[in-house]
Amino acid sequence: MNTDTLNDKPENVDEKSMPVLSVKNLTYHYPKNKLALDDVSFDIYSGEKVAVVGPNGAGKTTLFLHMNSTIKSKGHIFINGKDVADMNPTERVKEVGIMFADPDNQLFMPTVFDDVAFGPLNLGLSKEEVEQRVEEAIEMTGIADLKTRVPHHLSLGQKKKVVLASIISMKPKVLILDEPTANLDPKSKRDVLEIVNKLNADGMTIIISTHDVNLLSELADKVFVLNKRIIETGTPRDIFSNPGLLEENNLEASDIFKFFQLLSSIGFDCEELPLSFDEAVEEILTQMEESGGHIHLHTHDHSHEEMIKLRTAFQQRIERID
Ligand SMILES: Nc1ncnc2c1ncn2[C@@H]1O[C@H](COP(=O)(O)OP(=O)(O)OP(=O)(O)O)[C@@H](O)[C@H]1O
């Protein structure tokens, strides 16, 4: 795995630029000496889209609770060179917005509009600017039809979008999302994914914790495997290609990646295994175009016994997918 390259600044980043977020030697014990974070350090550069993955209890939420100083511990978090522990709340919300897994803890106003307007109003902006920011955030998250609704009466997917809008209206430089797609229906997952990717395309730096390995390659360009400490850093492909790492950290490769691993084991030629459904479709279409509508399996590389074994494994996997 090419972790050296990934730990370095991305190529498109100005040499002189500092990391937008720098976590230095964070160690945290909950009461009764329960170790949650063990000397965690990493840098994230402007415009990056990073996922933090790891088993239940790995310390992901604990890490995020440090980002707005909800909890403090040994170590430091710098945003644009300034320690978050030294920022006042107004300074902090302009730098970093965090969407936690449970939206109910972040919604408290009588209407959706008021919730989205609450932050900008407290920044002391003009009425026009507040309205403009609220409209933009509502438009970006597609919740115009919910403006006058009571936030606590909404569905989980709707609540998450309202929380996201209330954070976007603050225009933070860094957006942190704790399991943003958990418990959402497939359409709502896609909606969240699209919003996050649009924000990132507009320049926002994004950090996401997720157990949703099937969306990982779309949610992030770079992945930190956290298990109290940073175990590994890599692209989604690096992480999916490391069976030992996956096994030790209760992770799995995406279904598509596993399926194409299996296909390649029975002779499907593929330079890079697809990570997502879209990549798989692209790969298949390209191969079909190049070979006049056929997909070639180089089965002659295998003995008859091997083919029977692979066929059985293939069948079992297909049954599991069903
Ligand atoms: N308030 C608390 N008091 C004591 N221990 C806690 C508290 N909150 C979390 N922990 C413990 O700290 C560890 C890290 O928890 P954390 O919620 O940060 O993990 P996580 O990676 O977000 O997990 P998950 O993927 O299940 O959401 C776990 O062992 C958890 O039991």
User: What's 227's domain CATH number?
Assistant: 3.40.50.300
75: region left, alpha or beta (phi > 0 left; psi from -120 to 50 alpha): left
CA of 148 to the centre of ligand 1 (A): 36
User: Using a 6 Å cutoff on CB, does residue 56 contact ligand 1?
Assistant: yes
If asked whether residues 233 and 159 sit together in one domain, one would say: yes
Q: Are residues 120 and 198 in the same domain?
A: yes
As a whole number of Å, the CA-based R_g of the chain is 22
**117 and 222 share a domain?**
yes
Whole-number Å distance between alpha carbons of 79 and 67: 9
Q: Indicate whether 16 belongs to any domain.
A: no
Q: Are residues 181 and 205 in the same domain?
A: yes
Mean pLDDT per 10-residue section of the chain, whose length is 322 residues: 47 64 95 91 96 97 92 90 91 94 94 95 91 96 96 96 96 96 93 95 96 94 97 96 96 92 80 90 85 66 68 68 51
User: Diameter of the chain by CA atoms?
Assistant: 75
CB atoms within 10 A of CB 188: 18
Atom from ligand 1 closest to the CA of residue 31: 4
Q: Can you tell me which atom of ligand 1 is nearest the CA of 63?
A: 18
- Both tokens of 49, joined, read 């889209």
Confirm whether 114 is domain-assigned: yes
| Domain identity same for 213 and 102 | yes
Q: Which atom of ligand 1 is least distant from the CA of 54?
A: 21
Say if residue 193 is in the same domain as residue 226: yes
CA-closest residue to ligand 1 atom 25: 56
Question: Residue 206 — φ and ψ, nearest 5°?
Answer: -125, 135
Q: How many domains, in total, are found in the chain?
A: 2
Specify which residues 35 forms β-bridges with.
29
Is any ligand 1 atom within 6 A of the Cβ of residue 30? yes
ipTM over 0.95: yes
Strands 222-227 and 49-53: parallel
Q: Please report, in angstroms and rounded to a whole number, the separation of the first and last CA atoms in the chain.
A: 33
Question: Do 230 and 276 belong to one domain?
Answer: no
CA angle, residues 10, 16, 22, in degrees to nearest 5: 65
User: On the CB side of 37, how many CA atoms lie within 13 Å of its CA?
Assistant: 24
> What residue numbers bound the domain in which 30 lies?
21-240
Q: What is the pTM of this model?
A: 0.87
Given 206, 240, 274, which residue is the final one in a domain? 240
Q: How confident is the model at residue 253, as a pLDDT? A: 95
Using H for helix, E for strand and C for coil, what is the string for 268-307? ECCCCCCCCHHHHHHHHHHHHHHCCCCCCECHHHCCHHHH
- Give residue 11's pLDDT: 54
Please check whether residues 176 and 233 belong to one and the same domain: yes
Identify whether residues 39 and 79 lie together within a single domain: yes
Q: Residue 128: inside a domain, yes or no? A: yes
Measured distance CA(77)–CA(215) in Å, rounded: 28
Decide if 249 is inside a domain.
no
278, part of any domain: yes
Whether 59 is in the pocket of ligand 1, judged by its Cβ within 6 Å, is yes
- Together in a domain, 187 and 47: yes
Q: Is 108 in the pocket of ligand 1 (CB under 6 A)?
A: no
What pLDDT is attached to residue 3? 42
Q: Evaluate: CB of 61 within 6 angstroms of ligand 1.
A: yes
Mutate to test the pocket of ligand 1, among 27, 29, 30 (most ligand atoms within 8 A of CB): 30
Residue 190: name the closest of 214, 173, 166, 209 by CA. Answer: 214
